[in-house]
Amino acid sequence: MTIAEKNFAAAPGEAPLIDPFGRAVTYIRVSVTDRCDFRCVYCMSEDMNFLPKRDLLSLEELDRLCSTFVGLGTRKIRVTGGEPLVRRGIMTLFRSLSRHLESGALEEVTVTTNGSQLARHAQELFDCGVRRINVSLDTLDADRFRAITRWGDLGKVLEGVDAAQKAGLAIKINAVALKGVNDDEFPRLIEWAHGRGMDLTFIEVMPLGDIEAARVDQYLPLSLVRANLMDRFTLQNIDYQTGGPARYVRVAETGGRLGFITPMTHNFCESCNRVRVTCTGTLFMCLGQEDAADLRAPLRASESDAPLIGAIRDAILRKPKGHDFIIDRGTALPAVGRHMSVTGG
Ligand code: SAM
Ligand code: SF4
């Protein structure tokens, strides 16, 4: 039996997942691998120890896990990593998840990718029902791109963006704001993204995992970025929401949307609707806290989904109110030890 033929959705009538603060959990981000073909300076150190492959959930297990969440009211799944498109056979997962889009149980399956493998996967993603993707791109300068990603090739990513647009995928570009690295390029990024009909979102760097550089040297508050952009552009507040933490404005001069994700300067936890699952089946109820629940053991313990559902429900009851990120000279340690590539961005 292929994974697409199995139906793991929990029985109708399951109560939705509601956390202790009354927030409904309807969105999961699933990291399908901790590996990546880049080594972005804010995300990873150059020498990373990756998980042994035997610790990873198989694609069938990932499908079963996602489908169980769908049965518990998850409406949106974002596939991420590491770099999700480097996981071998990953299209099998997209293909099997598409049955939940067809049935209407899921509203959306999306991907966050560095774009390096996008040219060869874009059409198939579209064929599997994916309609929107996020591509991470911090600069349009090839040398700078190489310096930020250590190993990346800007040309390949731009080919991926072309292929994705040709396939009909809507793209949001995500750029991490890095002090002294790409902060002179923001107007150009805005004009480029909006000129191609893409949204653009700036992200504040978060203190996740040990990297070689000091976070405080990278960190650029978006309140400052926004103030500087207002010298050049007219930023109009708009009421646009994608279910994520970005707050959007319209840039009058380009007509495009610009988002700001500000985990540091503006905490958005009060409206958090999501949890994250790693490629080993560990459920993190908050990106910025250590508490986690192992879902792999209950998943493997039984053919029945009952132990898995019980573990998910117990974990949601422990979802914390929010994160406590700090970046300053006095705080040397990251807020949490794991890298963004483990929990999934
Ligand atoms: N590899 C894919 C990519 O780069 O899009 C998906 C995973 S990556 C961890 C997801 C997002 O997290 C990317 O947009 C990346 O720029 C962002 N990111 C990684 N480390 C970060 C950090 N410490 N602070 C803020 N954003 C970070
Ligand atoms: Fe890889 Fe994405 Fe992390 Fe860059 S941000 S190292 S592309 S996982």
Q: Which tens digit of pLDDT belongs to each residue from 36-66?
A: 999 999 899 999 999 998 899 999 999 999 9
Residue owning the nearest CA to atom 20 of ligand 1: 43
Average pLDDT of every residue of the chain:
89
If you average pLDDT over residues 141-152, what whole number do you get?
97
**What are 150-178's pLDDT values in tens digits?**
999 999 999 999 999 999 999 999 999 99
Residue % of the chain over a pLDDT of 70: 86
Which ligand 1 atom lies nearest to the CA of residue 81? 7
Ligand 1 centre from 340 Cα, in Å?
6
Q: Per residue in 251-267, pLDDT tens?
A: 999 999 999 988 766 56
Fold of domain 18-343: TIM Barrel (3.20.20)
Residue 97 DSSP symbol? H
Residues whose CB falls within 8 Å of the CB of residue 49, separated by 6 or more in sequence, listed in order = none
- 245 Cα: distance to centroid of ligand 1 (angstroms): 14
Give the torsion through C-alpha atoms of 32, 35, 39, 43, to 10 deg. 50
Gap between the Cα atoms of 4 and 63, Å rounded: 9
Q: Where are the alpha helices (DSSP H) in 104-255?
A: 118-127, 142-149, 154-167, 186-195, 215-218, 222-229
Average of per-residue pLDDT across 193-212: 87
User: Which of residues 136 and 274 earns the better pLDDT score?
Assistant: 136
Which protein residue has the closest C-alpha to ligand 1 atom 21? 43
Count other C-beta atoms under 10 Å from residue 134's C-beta. 21
Residue range 83-116, pLDDT digits in tens: 999 999 999 999 999 999 999 999 999 999 999 9
Greater pLDDT, 171 or 215: 171
The pLDDT of residue 7: 42
Distance CA(315)–CA(292), nearest Å, equals: 8
Is there an atom of ligand 2 within 6 Å of 209 CB? Answer: no
Q: How far is the CA of 95 from the centre of ligand 1 (A)?
A: 24
Q: Which of 171, 203, 274 to mutate to test the pocket of ligand 1 (most atoms within 8 A of CB)?
A: 203
Domain spans of the chain, in order of start? 18-343
